[in-house]
Amino acid sequence: LEEAAFQLQQIFRIDISIALNILGVESMRAGHSRVAFTCFKLAADRGYSKGQFNVGLCYEHGRGTEKDLEKAGFYYCQAASSCHPMAQYRYARLLLQHSPGNDWDRHHKAVTLLEQAAVAGITEAQAYLGVFYLRGLQPQEKRGVKYLLLAANSGDAQSRYHVGVCYEQGLGVQQNLAEALRHYRQSAAAGNRQARERLQA
């Protein structure tokens, strides 16, 4: 009986959190960012990962509250620990962009989170990792192309352009100008200005 009561409490807690988060989303759409932030915060404080992610977004962009990257990171971290893929991506970006250059632990944690988000299908994480591996301090070109192709195949025109560059210059793949042209054309057709300029050149 105690177990059943506990399960009911958990269900009730989750339902309230979902409702608060939905109310927050609707409030944000209606332009009531302060109300939205309050709803997200209540859902987040109940341990709901979508609420935690939305609080992180509010703090990162200063919507409904003061902009605070440290607090954004805190809430992204909470959501990421519940395997929220977009939170993993955004937390990893904060770690890479706002951490000391020599902090290896934070760097390693960020890359791990990016890879988890990329595997979960987050196109932004795939694109970020692709460029990261191509241009990092210790480039891993084949790995970079792999992630760029994942992002390109998810419709990211910028990643498609980068794949074209890889084929043109032989980065992580065998140099192949016909393949480079194919990727540039696809990227240009999707509206990428750099790809159009490359084709004209």
Q: Give the Cα-Cα-Cα angle 117, 120, 121 (nearest 5 degrees).
A: 95
CA dihedral 137, 158, 165, 136 (to 10 degrees): 0
In angstroms, the Cα distances linking 57 to 54, 135, 167, 200 are: 5, 27, 36, 39
User: Distance between CA 51 and CA 31 in Å, rounded?
Assistant: 18
Residues 6+ apart with CB under 8 A from 181: 164, 199
User: In CATH terms, are 14-120 and 122-200 the same topology?
Assistant: yes
pLDDT at 41: 97
pLDDT at 201: 84
Report domain extents, the chain. 14-120, 122-200
**Which superfamily, per CATH, for 122-200?**
Tetratricopeptide repeat domain (1.25.40.10)
Instruction: Give the type of residue at 164.
Output: G
Q: Report mean pLDDT in 10-residue bins for the chain, 201 residues.
A: 62 75 91 95 95 97 96 96 96 84 78 95 95 82 94 95 95 94 95 92 84
User: Distance between CA 14 and CA 104 in Å, rounded?
Assistant: 37
User: Distance between CA 2 and CA 154 in Å, rounded?
Assistant: 47
Query: For residue 13, what are its two tokens?
Result: 């807690």
**Which superfamily, per CATH, for 14-120?**
Tetratricopeptide repeat domain (1.25.40.10)
In angstroms, the Cα distances linking 127 to 76, 131, 159, 193 are: 20, 6, 6, 17
pLDDT at 5: 61
